[in-house]
Chain A
Amino acid sequence: MKKLKAAKGRVVISPPVGTPMAGNIRLDNKSRGVHDDLYCNILILNDNSTKVCLLGFDLIGIEYTTCTDIKERIEKVTGIPSENIVMWATHTHSGPDTGMRMYQGTEDLINAYLEDMVAKVVAGVTKANEKYEEVVLKAGKTSVTDLSFNRRLTKKDGSVVMNFEEFERKDITGTTGPIDNELITLSAWDNNDKLFAVLVNFTLHPAILVSYKWLISRDFINYLDQYLADNYGNQVLALFANGAEGNVNHLNYQDPDQLRNFEEAERVGKKLGAYVNDSIKDSSVLDGKIRFTSGKVTLPLREITIEEKLWADMVLERDKDLVEDMLDGIPDKTYAKMIKGMLVRTDKECETVLQGMAIHNFAFVTFPGEVYVEFGLKVKMLSPYKNTMVIGLANGQVGYIPMKEAFSQGGYEVRTAWTSQLMHDAGDILVNLVKEKILDNLSGQSVKVMERKASDNKYLHKDFHIALNLLMTYLYDHFGKDALVNYLKQFSQAYYKPLNQKLKSGDIKVLVNYFKDIYEKEEWPVNITSNKNSVEIIQDACPAISHILKSGGKPCPYYRETYNTIYKSLCENTPFEYALEYFNDETGACKQLFIRKEVKL
């Protein structure tokens, strides 16, 4: 089972010039052009039982309703079950503002973009689904310790500051948490051993550019893609899936010279490409069926407190003349507006989808938002699979999912807004759900245990008729009819010895009981009549020949000898003799007669 089928495709989803950009808050947020195109990358895996469609979008996020719309439309056109479609955003901060929650008055432009984008993606998946190639999948991983950094910094006074905010380097003692240094690849290789596609999973905010020069870009992923094309050929489809990147970005607080431009995106992307290369080289073949699961879950939403409402009122008054303009993070005034907007929300919960796929010792699980890296690491620890990808920002955009303790520390991700709207324990709830609904389900499919006692089943293995027929056919073909008859005699004399002994007593009931028993065990209809001197057995077909024919086999030319030779031999040195009065070689319909010799005389 090393080979599966795979299909791939790529659709350009760059927005038109003038589309509001996401990823930061600018007074003027309209895009000026495209530096490098945004894509929806499509990879469909098919093992003839299960089809899974992976869609990686170069977007900041995709709303749950948009995901549902795309999935339903794809299912309608291609037949791929909507629950088997996995969608995620790479989270580039240089794409369109698909959430439409940062700015007011941009809905028409974004809606027009989304409508066009969705239609293109559905068409792209439809086209990809028309052409599959045989592939071998491999999974590998490598360690990356110099490209990603926990962005929550601890100051000497115990307070927390984000690494993109202003701080004195000398005041920093370290970070509040770890990074995830695992880079995992799932690569698909065609019949010519060329790389067909690769799914790269690494935990890193694509926020190097943050709408740099108001140009649309995939950020470092563009350069990662270029690196892979240069090294493996242009045929390669590279999909980047972010991990638990909620508190991880590229900023090294110890490096004062770090840039925020295309050169830096190129440095990170190409270095990441070299790591992908290492992971691919270290890969091993996956051998097994696609195991997949998907389930809807609900997550509790945070309530806006009186204090937050009062704060929002105060800020809106205080900052009424201020313009909202910030490269990283969100200005107070924008937070205040969002809090006011959230006040009218009536929902207590939000719905989302969790998914997981496993093949052999590889698995991925999805999270719906920007989950803290600590949760991603916990899921990897809980997973029985050697290589477990955690794919963040999948199937919806529920915002940041911080650790509970972060709420008392403060910082960007915990401030109530559309970008941080779940209850404080949502991360723990999600980890439990991923464990119980996804990982346990997948491992239940991957590991199957069956234990049986002999008494649990009835002994009836009809395929033995096929094996015996092959034995007889081989004997007949290689040694001739006489050898076949001799073998059957040998068997009859050995196996029916006790029955033959009983028959010698002249008790005809011995025969009746024997035949009733074997036909009952065969679950086969037969007409057995007897008197004190004879037993007559009539059957419309032979159970053995019927099973052989049903299984597409051909009965041995002298199959009738399993009656004739066997029972003649059984009757030797007994008061009975056997006659096969008629036998249909095609069906085994026959009439058998056991008669007392003295009566015949």
Chain B
Amino acid sequence: MISCTEFIPAYSEGFKFFELSGGRMELEKFWGYLSDLYLKDTLSKLVSEDGLEGCNTYWSHSLNEEAADFKMVLDEIKGEFRIDMYKCPSKGMLNELTYMEPYHSYCDHCPALYRPVIEQIGYKYVEDSSNCDKASCSVEITIKNK
């Protein structure tokens, strides 16, 4: 059994495996598949039904379960949802597993999964991954015509 607490390194190894099998395109194909399937009944449904509050519902659940260090703001008045990730539990775990070589662009999977779902519903998705190596990033989802 791969425990859910061991998922992150399994995920990272999966990315490496896909890239080795067919290059970055192969990996991106997989991310596209995962985005469609994994987020269809969760993030996509929540945001379609509840708008930005759906983002809040989705990430409050997942980030609390993942024990992330973050600040999340839903501001319906401004039409914004924002996450400031102070310490990403996934990237943080990979950084701590010093005996393993993580997938070189591990953090790319987040926008690859979430951006298509969010943009398809009609919102703007902007991430800042400049501090990604330090397990820190931010994402802002906004109403396009605000």
Q: Is A176 an interface residue (CB 8 A)?
A: no
- Pair B77/A495 contact, Cβ less than 8 Å: no
B127 contacts A by Cβ under 8 Å: no
Q: Chain B residues with Cβ under 8 A from A361's Cβ?
A: 77-79, 146
Smallest distance from the beta carbon of B145 to chain A beta carbons, Å?
6
Which residues does chain B contribute within 8 Å of A455, judged by CB atoms?
67
Scoring A289, A291, A358, A471 by chain B CB atoms within 10 A of each residue's CB, the highest score goes to: A471
- B52 contacts A288, C-beta separation under 8 Å: yes
Instruction: Assess whether B1 is in contact with A453, with CB atoms less than 8 Å apart.
Output: no
Q: Per-residue CB proximity of B45-73 to A under 8 Å, as 1/0?
A: 00111111110100010111111111111
Does chain B have a CB within 8 A of A527? no
Query: Is A305 an interface position by the 8 A CB rule?
Result: no
Q: Which residues of A contact B16 (CB under 8 A)?
A: 490
- Name A567's closest neighbour in chain B (CB-CB): B1
Task: State whether A446 and B75 are in contact (beta carbons under 8 Å apart), knowing that A460-B65, A466-B38, A468-B11 are contacts in the complex.
Answer: yes
Tell me whether B2 and A1 are in contact (CB under 8 A).
no
Whether A452 pairs with B70 at a CB distance below 8 angstroms is: yes
Which residue of chain A has the shortest Cβ distance to B102 in the bound complex? A494
Q: Are B1 and A543 in contact (CB under 8 A)?
A: yes
| Chain A hits for B79, CB < 8 A | 287-288, 360-361
CB of A471 within 8 A of CB of B14, answer yes
The interface residues of chain A lying within 8 Å CB-to-CB of B49 are 1, 48
B3, B77, B87, B100: which contacts A447 (Cβ < 8 A)?
B77
Determine if A449 and B72 form an interchain contact, defined as CB atoms under 8 angstroms apart.
yes
* B96: Cβ under 8 A from any A Cβ: no
Residue from A446, A522, A543 with most neighbouring chain B CB atoms (10 Å): A446
Once bound together, how far apart are the Cα atoms of A454 and B53, in whole Å? Answer: 23
Give the residue of A1, A360, A450, A522 whose beta carbon is less than 8 angstroms from that of B4: A522
Q: Does A267 contact B (CB under 8 A)?
A: no
Could you tell me if B6 and A288 are in contact, using CB atoms closer than 8 angstroms?
no
B21 and A479 contact, CB distance less than 8 A: yes
User: How far, in angstroms, from A449 to B38 measured CA to CA in the complex?
Assistant: 26
Q: Nearest Cβ distance between residue A522 and chain B, in whole angstroms?
A: 6
Asked whether any CB of chain B lies closer than 8 Å to the CB of A2, the reply is yes
Chain A residues with CB under 8 A of B65: 457, 459-463
* Complex interface: chain A residues within 8 A of B74 (CB): 447-449
Which one of B2, B17, B51, B60 has the greatest number of beta carbons of chain A within 10 Å? B2
- Contact bitstring B1-33, A, C-beta under 8 A = 1, else 0: 111111111110110110001000000001001
Task: Say how far A472's CB is from chain B's closest CB, in angstroms.
Answer: 9
- Is A467 touching B38 in the complex (CB atoms < 8 A)? yes
Residues of B within 8 A of A597 (CB): none
* Chain A 479-510 residues near chain B, CB threshold 8 A: 479, 483, 486-487, 490-491, 494-495, 497-498
**Cβ-neighbour of B6 out of A284, A449, A486, A518 (below 8 A):** A518
Contact with B along A515-557 (1 / 0, CB 8 A): 0001001100000000000000000001110010000100000
Within the assembled complex, what's the spacing in Å between the Cα atoms of A285 and B122? 12
Q: Is there a chain B Cβ closer than 8 Å to A465's Cβ?
A: yes
Q: Is A600 at the interface (CB under 8 A from chain B)?
A: no
A474 interfacial by beta-carbon distance below 8 Å:
yes
Interface range on chain B (Cβ under 8 Å from partner): 35 or more
The reply to whether A470 and B13 form a contact with Cβ atoms under 8 Å apart is: no
**Cβ of B71 and Cβ of A457 under 8 Å apart?**
no
Pick the most buried of A359, A384, A464: most chain B CB atoms within 10 A of its CB. A464
In the complex, which residue of chain B has the Cβ closest to the Cβ of A518?
A: B3
Instruction: Give the complex CA separation of A451 and B34 in angstroms.
Output: 28
Give the number of chain A interface residues (Cβ < 8 Å): 67
Are A464 and B122 touching (Cβ within 8 A)?
no
**Cross-chain contact of B89 among A448, A459, A479 (Cβ < 8 A):** A459
What chain A residues lie within 8 Å of B14 (beta carbons)?
A: 471, 475, 487, 491
Interface residue A197 (Cβ < 8 Å from any Cβ of B)? no
Contact for A498 among B34, B41, B99, CB less than 8 A: B99
Chain A proximity of B136: nearest CB distance (Å): 13
Residues of chain B within 8 A of A457, CB atoms compared: 64-68
Query: Of A2, A448, A450, which contacts B122 at CB under 8 A?
Result: A2
The reply to whether A289 and B66 form a contact with Cβ atoms under 8 Å apart is no
A521 shortest CB reach to chain B, Å = 5
Residue of B nearest to A384 (CB): B77
Give the contacting residue for B13; candidates A461, A474, A491; CB below 8 A. A491
- 8 Å CB contact of A467 from B7, B69, B97, B145: B7
* A452–B143 touching, CB < 8 Å: no
Query: What's the Cα separation between A518 and B4 when bound, in Å?
Result: 9
Residue B108, interface by CB 8 Å: no
Q: Does A258 contact B (CB under 8 A)?
A: no
* Given A474-B33, A483-B21, A461-B4 contact (CB < 8 Å): yes
Q: Which residues of A contact B11 (CB under 8 A)?
A: 464, 467-468, 471
Query: Is A562 positioned at the interface, with any CB of B under 8 Å from its CB?
Result: yes
Are B77's CB and A487's CB within 8 A? no
Q: Is A113's CB within 8 Å of the partner chain B?
A: no
Instruction: Identify the closest chain B residue to A495 (Cβ).
Output: B9
Q: Among the interface residues B16, B41, B51, B75, which one has the most CB atoms of the partner chain A within 10 A?
A: B51
Q: Do A562 and B2 have beta carbons less than 8 Å apart?
A: yes
A497 and B99 contact, CB distance less than 8 A: yes
CB neighbours (8 Å) of A291 from chain B are: 76
Asked whether any CB of chain B lies closer than 8 Å to the CB of A443, the reply is: yes
Which residue of the partner chain A has the closest CB to B99?
A: A497
Bound Cα distance A577, B132 (Å)? 40
A446 and B62 contact, Cβ closer than 8 Å, known pairs A465-B4, A562-B2: no
- B62 lies within 8 A of A461 (CB): yes
* Contact present for A494 and B9 (CB under 8 Å): yes
Q: A1-B49, A449-B72 are in contact. Are A464 and B1 (CB under 8 A)?
A: no
**How far in angstroms is the closest Cβ of chain B from A285?**
6
Can you name the residue of chain B whose Cβ is closest to the Cβ of A493? B13
| A562–B51 CB distance below 8 A | no
Partner pick for B50 among A1, A474, A522, CB 8 A cutoff:
A1
Question: In angstroms, how far is the closest chain B Cβ from the Cβ of A598?
Answer: 27
Q: Which 5 A-B pairs have the closest CB atoms?
A: A1-B51, A464-B7, A461-B65, A464-B4, A459-B67
Could you name 12 residue pairs across A and B whose Cβ atoms are closer than 8 Å? A1-B51, A1-B54, A360-B143, A361-B77, A449-B73, A450-B60, A461-B62, A463-B4, A467-B11, A467-B38, A491-B14, A494-B101
Given known contacts A288-B51, A386-B77, what 9 new A-B pairs fall within 8 Å (CB)? A1-B54, A361-B78, A456-B67, A458-B67, A463-B4, A470-B33, A518-B5, A544-B3, A563-B1
